[in-house]
Amino acid sequence: MRVMAAVLCGFLILISGVSVLAQEASPAARRMALLRVAGQGADAVPALVAALDDPNQVVARTAARLLGEQGEAGLAALLDALDHPDVVVRRTAVLAIGSLPLADALLRLSEVIGDESPFVRRTAVDVLLNVRPRNADVVALLNSARENSDGPMRETINKALWPFHRDLVLIRDRQDWDHDVSIVQTINLPKDGWKFHLDPDRSGHLESWYGADFDDAAWDDIAIEQVWQAAGYDYIGVAWYRRTITLPPKPEKFNAIELRCLAVDECAWIWVNGEYVGDHDMGPGGYDREFQVDVTEQLNWGGPNQITIRAMNTVGAGGVWKPVQIEVLE
C-alpha cells in the first residue's frame, strides 16, 4: 500500500522545511513543489508517494517520474503503483521493473503483461525484451505476451525470439539439451505435388481443411517455391496448401526436429498429421523471413505424413515461395 503520511487534514505537507501547500493551490504550484522536494533524496519519498493520489494527472505523473529517480526507496514505492488508475503512472512503474533482479522482474512482468491498456502492455514487452539473460522463462513470457499483442508488437517479439529459437524454445522438457545445435540431416519437401485451394471467406479451419484425413482430391494442383500469382492465381487473401510425404526411418540420435520454411508470403499457420504445430504471423514484413516450428512429436517416421500450410497475404504476391525442409537437430 502506498504511504499516505504526507497528506494531513487537507494539506500536502512537503518535508524538511519546504513550503506547506493547501490542496487549493494550483496544480502547477503543487507540481513545482514536488520538483523542489525531490532533491532531498530518500526523505522525499513519502511526499512523492502521497502525490500519486493527487487529483491532477500531471501532478500524479510527475510524482511517479520523480520516484523513479530516488534510488531503491523510490523504486519500492513506485512498484506499488503498478495498479494505479492512471495509465501513464502505471507505465512509469512498469519501466522501473527493468532494474530488478531477473526473478523479481519476471514475476512483476507476468503480472502486468496482460494490463488492460495496450500502452502499458507494450511497455512491459519492451522491458521484457531488454531482460538478460534471455533464458527459457523469459522466452515463455514473451510467447505469452505475443498472444495479446498487435501486429507491430508481435513482429517485434518474433524478431527477438528468432535467434534464440533453437537454444531456448526447443529446450522445454529436454534436460539433456546441448546449446551448441547442429543440423545433422535435412529433408527437402518436394516442390511439386501439392494440393491448393483459395479460402476467401477464411473459413477453411472451420471445415477442418488441416485434418490428416481431409479429402482434398478436388483441390487444384500447385508447386511451391513460387508465389501463387505465378501459378495463375491473381488473388490476395488466405489459401491452403496440402501434401503427404513419406519419411525415411527415424534417425538414431537427435534432440529435436524442426519444419523450416525459407519464406511464406506473408503469414503461415502449419499442421502436421492434423495437429497444429505453430505459425509465422508478423504481417507484410514477414514475406521473406525464414521461420521454423518444432515437429518432434508429430512426425511419423518410416511412413506417410500429411503437411498443411495455411498462407495469407494482404498485399502483393502470396504463397509458399521458397523451399520447405525438415531438419534433424542434435
pLDDT, mean of residues 14-40: 69
Per the model's pLDDT, the better-predicted residue between 172 and 308 turns out to be 308
3-class secondary structure, 42: helix
Q: Which residue has the cell 499442421?
A: 271
Instruction: Give the CATH architecture of domain 7-165.
Output: Alpha Horseshoe (1.25)
Instruction: Give me the percent of the chain exceeding a pLDDT of 90.
Output: 48
Q: Would you state the pLDDT for residue 84?
A: 95
Q: Which residues, at least 6 apart from 223, have a Cβ–Cβ distance to it below 8 Å?
A: 191, 192, 193, 194, 231
Q: Would you state the pLDDT for residue 48?
A: 93
Domain spans of the chain, in order of start: 7-165, 183-329
pLDDT at residue 1 is higher than 60: no
pLDDT at residue 155 is higher than 70: no
Q: Are 52 and 81 in contact (CB under 8 A)?
A: yes
C-alpha cell of residue 230: 505465378
For residue range 99-113, what is the model confidence (pLDDT) as tens digits? 888 889 899 999 998
pLDDT at residue 149 is higher than 80: no
Per the model's pLDDT, the better-predicted residue between 222 and 135 turns out to be 222
Confidence of residue 158 (pLDDT cuts 50, 70, 90): low
Mean pLDDT of the chain: 83
Q: Would you state the pLDDT for residue 9?
A: 30
pLDDT at residue 10 is higher than 60: no
pLDDT, mean of residues 70-80: 90
Q: Would you state the pLDDT for residue 256?
A: 87
Structural fold of domain 183-329: Jelly Rolls (2.60.120)
Confidence of residue 239 (pLDDT cuts 50, 70, 90): very high
Instruction: Give me the percent of the chain exceeding a pLDDT of 70.
Output: 84
pLDDT, mean of residues 271-294: 88
Burial call 234-264: b when 16+ CB within 10 Å, e when fewer: eeeebbbbbbeeebeeeeeeebbbbbbbbbb
Two domains, one topology: 7-165 and 183-329: no
Proportion of the chain in helix, strand, coil states, percent, rounded to 5: 40, 20, 40
